[in-house]
Amino acid sequence: MKVLEEVPDSTVVTPEQFALDPKAAVRDADGLIVRSAVQADAALIEAAGNMRVIGRAGVGVDNIDVETATRRGIVVMNAPGASAVSVAELTLGLMLAMARHIPRADVTTRGGQWDKKNLQGTELAGKTLGIVGLGRIGTESAQRARAFGMNLIGSDPYLSPSRAKELGIELVSLDELYAQADYISLHLALSHQTANMINAEAIARMKPGVRLVNCARGELVDEAAVEAALRSGHIAAAALDVFREEPPVNSGLLSAPNLVATPHLGASTREGQEAVGIQIARQVRDYLLDGIAQNAVNLPSLSDVEYQQIKPYMALAAKLGRFAAQLFASNLEEIEVRFQGEVGGWKTQLIRSAAVAAILRFRAPPVRWNAAVRWCTAPCRASPASTASRSNPIWTAPSSSFPTSMSPVSSATSEPCWDGAASTLPASRSAARTIRRWPSCRWMRWSLPRYLQSCAAPPR
């Protein structure tokens, strides 16, 4: 709280005050910071009339209605790296617990048994650790495993070979990792691609006697498949800090042999909790004061340097959007934004959103739309197509196949170096039409720079 209290003219609502009446507490708030116990659901978000940002002190945002927040133009951000050391240390602790049967040794010794013969373990030294997901937590775990003399292999499509070499990790495919690893540790975010990735089929490809660690997300694992593999012995042991349902109720997995279970303790250290709280407070402060969105889950995250780099292009995109909105009598149904040169390799989502937001502000019906259109909500507000039957968002990924003749302001060129994106805009009139080609006329090319100079400042 000290980070936020140091901001001049700021008012901070304490957790105790929030608990008395959550909706009243957020009614005039600009930002909200929550941990896992607070449910930032649609009702709470709708009650926050001035809310601009919601920060999650942790990684998972399951307790935040991200869809409602995005529709309201509220940025949602988390703090994924602050507790990396805490989670990595727990990962190694669980590996040691499995290797040396520490939980069972504790129980039997307290029960009056001295069962050394049946508690013979194995060393970590010389074993192969396969790390799936080499972000901050994965790399911290790798550094600690190296100190135990383990061989390191990893699978991560986003890690470059040069960076893997610096870390002393051999990059392999997921199938190769399954086949070679004595220990497998998961450090992945949950997505449609990673949900249930440790299933019966994946387990069948693993080395017999493998040991599995999951300190990431419970939904990564098919618990029934892991239970069956533990009972058959194909998985020698598993250590799970996370579960699909927390706390797990009537789970057969908890009765499986050689399972080490902990109640989601990954970030639960004094140092980890303090680091997470400080990081998310700083991120929320920076967004409210400077508009810098770090670790945003519904908006492209930018560093301060990246933000300053693209800021002029966002201003230009907004001016072009306002200009385009005034060119046609009928409502715009679709626009296409393209980039040429170095900017095409940057994080251009915010530039596109600035253009769409400017058009929506100018052309949208005067019913709550204009005031609520912000950069993070522009794709969401542009998503409903003009036909009532379409309700899914239409916000296409960048494509390089657009013809260069569609550039409204460039001189004739044949360089096919465009990064384009299309967005469907809501039709406020029945006579909507698709604008797929900008008019190429001398007036536009000669008058555009002068017009842009006269435009207002970029959107806030």
Sign of CA dihedral 218, 223, 226, 227: positive
CB 74 within 8 A of CB 33: no
Contact 380, 406 (CB under 8 A): no
Active-site annotation holds for 72: no
Which structure tokens are listed for 194? 């990673």
Residue 413: which residues within 8 A CB-CB, separation 6 or more? 340, 404, 407
Please choose, from the candidates 107, 76, 34, 58, the residue with its C-alpha nearest in 3D space to the C-alpha of residue 242. 58
Q: Is 460 a catalytic residue?
A: no
Task: Report CA Rg, the chain.
Answer: 26
Catalytic-residue membership of 270? no
**Residue 80 token pair:** 């994924």
Classified as helix, coil or strand, 440 is: coil
Which amino acid type is present at position 70? T
Pairing of strands 151-155, 183-186: unpaired
- Angle, CA of 145, 151 and 157, to the nearest 5°: 90
Q: How far apart are alpha carbons 321 and 446 in whole angstroms?
A: 18
Q: How far apart are CA 197 and CA 301, in angstroms?
A: 27
Catalytic position from the list 35, 144, 234, 264 = 264
Question: At a CB cut-off of 8 Å and minimum separation 6, what does 1 contact?
Answer: 12, 14, 281
Omega within 30 of 0 (cis) for the link into 459: no
- Report yes or no: 2 and 285 within 8 Å, Cβ to Cβ: no
Tell me, what DSSP letter sits at residue 387?
A: S
* Burial of residue 117 (number of CB atoms within 10 Å: 0-12, 13-18, 19+): exposed
Separation of first and last alpha carbons in the chain:
26
Backbone φ, ψ for residue 170 (5° rounding): -85, 120
Strands 418-424 and 334-340: antiparallel
From the list 354, 290, 344, 347, the residue with the least C-alpha distance to 316 is: 354
Please name the residue ranges forming H helices in 233-348.
270-290, 304-325
What DSSP designation does 9 have? Answer: T
Exactly one of 217, 322, 363, 381 is catalytic; which is it?
217
Catalytic residue, from 166, 201, 245, 246: name it.
246
CA 447 to chain centre: 42
Catalytic residue list: 217, 246, 264
